[in-house]
Amino acid sequence: MKLFINGEWVSEELDVFDVVNPATGEVVGSVPKGGAKEAKVAADGAYESLPAWAERSAYERSAILEAWHDLIAEQKEELARLMTMEQGKPINEARGEIAYANSFIKWYAEEGKRIYGETIPASSPDKRLFVVKQPVGVVAAITPWNFPAAMITRKVAPALAAGCTVLIKPASQTPLTALKLAELAEKAGLPKGVLHVVVGSTSDISKAWQEDERVRKLTFTGSTEIGRTLMSEAGQTVKKISLELGGHAPVLVFEDADIDNAVQETIASKFRNGGQTCVCANRIYVHESIAEAFITKMKQAVEQLKVGNGLNEETDIGPLIDEEAVDKVLTHIRDAKDKGAEVLTGGNSSDGLFIEPTVIAGVTDDMACMSEETFGPLAPISTFKTEEEVVKRANDTIYGLAAYLFTTDLSRGIRVAEKLDYGVVGLNDGGPSVAQAPFGGFKQSGIGREGGHEGLEEFLESKYVSLKM
Ligand SMILES: NC(=O)C1=CN([C@@H]2O[C@H](COP(=O)(O)OP(=O)(O)OC[C@H]3O[C@@H](n4cnc5c(N)ncnc54)[C@H](OP(=O)(O)O)[C@@H]3O)[C@@H](O)[C@H]2O)C=CC1
Ligand SMILES: O=C(O)[C@H](O)CS(=O)(=O)O
């Protein structure tokens, strides 16, 4: 593969780095190692192509997004296989992610036509006041490895629909999907210079864009730790920012829950992508009166999950992304056992980067898994007595991205959802993320929203015009 810079596929004399399949350790591709020079050329191109792209009508931009969507749909299987080989997720999940990623392109191809302004009644009879929306300008997007397609299109689709030009730095572990998406965008007729993909020396690329006054927006998905750094750096040139950061999702299962649904939805949330999502259930609180029933059903269901190479159709749980990720999960399991938790199923790693889906019970709040993001296939179960107690425990974290609650009492569902300090709440639903709804976190889980009309506003500026007659 080559880098996509200024409408050209670039490799030149650059060194390359390998992309490795986490399931097998095999090299699945190699990519030129871009740096400050490539980052600047891309920023030059994005800045120079901005006026023409911004001046296109929303309908022209929409048509190109629709064409991109259709090409992705045509190549869904190839894209899914590429994603599984570089990130490890089961092929069925990869197919699902391509569809999810494509849904953002489809949704924003339409929503870009609804960037409305407003008129405002003037306090002075000789004035007319109105507000227009304009693209924020050149956007830099830094994206993670866990959703190699969706975390790109969730940013790029609204940015392009708004009339912005985009610089992408995908995760070094999963650049191939991003480069393939850029190739399809070029085929769809995206004009030269509107979209760029640069990967390699992350610090050099990021530094070049952060220091570049022409880059007016930074949008990032990844760890809270890196988010803090990027927020501080972006402040030096007062860039607009969107941050989708870490999470530590609580699951609250009340005594009046539909236990079968709660188990099904909790497993869907917990073990999607092997537990490597920012909205995964990270701690599960079950009312003491139904704990035995819930735990029995959870254990039985989790024991059915199949661990293996994501390219096998029957695989439910693929490898983790790297050794560091495996070590973190095993550390959380050991810590919990040392503090008294019981391993009901799983708990072992095998063949490099695979960890069995693991359920532990008898969990207490002093255990690391109950406060640190595990980012792996570990389901810790704790019990509670009262609604007030469990809401307090659920909110006792620096994070505020996603939370889930299960109850058949509608009043309780609304009451508790309102009390949970989280940007996304699944009420009897373990999979709330969709393109048409705003996704984002409270507290140290981020700033801004992605998806829905709010996700488009992130790439727009409001301009107030006052006309004196
Ligand atoms: N909220 C979310 O959706 C996600 C949260 N996470 C959290 O982050 C943890 C680590 O995952 P990881 O992917 O390493 O997340 P990181 O935050 O480390 O990386 C995310 C992206 O940021 C880039 N990056 C890393 N450091 C810098 C820097 N100093 N300046 C500019 N860009 C940088 C990475 O590049 P490179 O690939 O070259 O390192 C990657 O493209 C996970 O365990 C999880 O807790 C991870 C993914 C998604
Ligand atoms: O980064 C993530 O983990 C994703 O935002 C989760 S989701 O949008 O696919 O639910």
pLDDT in tens, 360-382: 999 999 999 999 999 999 999 99
Nearest Cα neighbor of 38 from 237, 172, 165, 209 is 209
Q: Are residues 86 and 224 in the same domain?
A: yes
Q: Is residue 253 part of a domain?
A: yes
What pLDDT does 350 receive? 83
Taking the model in full, what pTM does it have? 0.97
In sequence order, what are the beta bridge partners of 250?
Answer: 283
Q: Are residues 117 and 59 in the same domain?
A: yes
Question: Where in the sequence is the domain holding 148, given as residue range(s)?
Answer: 3-245+445-468
Q: Is residue 461 part of a domain?
A: yes
Q: Are residues 225 and 306 in the same domain?
A: no
pLDDT band at 150 (very low <50, low <70, confident <90, very high): very high
Please report, for the domain that includes residue 303, its CATH number.
3.40.309.10
What pLDDT does 3 receive? 80
278 is catalytic: yes
- Is the pLDDT at 25 greater than 90, yes or no? yes
Q: Are residues 216 and 132 in the same domain?
A: yes
Q: Are residues 398 and 275 in the same domain?
A: yes
For a pocket test of ligand 1, which of 86, 142, 205, 439 has the largest count of ligand atoms closer than 8 A to its C-beta? 142
Q: Are residues 79 and 161 in the same domain?
A: yes
Domain count, the chain: 2
CA–CA separation, 279 and 272 (whole Å): 10
Please report, for the domain that includes residue 218, its CATH number.
3.40.605.10
CB 121: neighbour CB atoms within 10 A? Answer: 7
8-state DSSP, 420: S
67-72 contacts at long range (C-beta below 8 A, 24 or more positions apart): 67/188, 67/189, 68/105, 68/184, 68/185, 68/188, 68/190, 69/102, 69/105, 69/106, 69/109, 70/188, 71/184, 71/187, 71/188, 72/98, 72/101, 72/102, 72/105, 72/181, 72/184
pLDDT band at 251 (very low <50, low <70, confident <90, very high): very high
Q: Are residues 126 and 59 in the same domain?
A: yes
What pLDDT does 110 receive? 98
For a pocket test of ligand 1, which of 18, 197, 226, 439 has the largest count of ligand atoms closer than 8 A to its C-beta? 226
For 289-312, what is each residue's pLDDT tens digit?
A: 999 999 999 999 999 999 999 999
Ligand 1 centroid vs 115 CA: distance in angstroms? 32
Q: Is residue 439 part of a domain?
A: no
**ipTM above 0.90 for this complex:** yes
What pLDDT does 12 receive? 72
Q: Are residues 254 and 387 in the same domain?
A: yes
Round the average pLDDT of the chain to a whole number and report it: 97
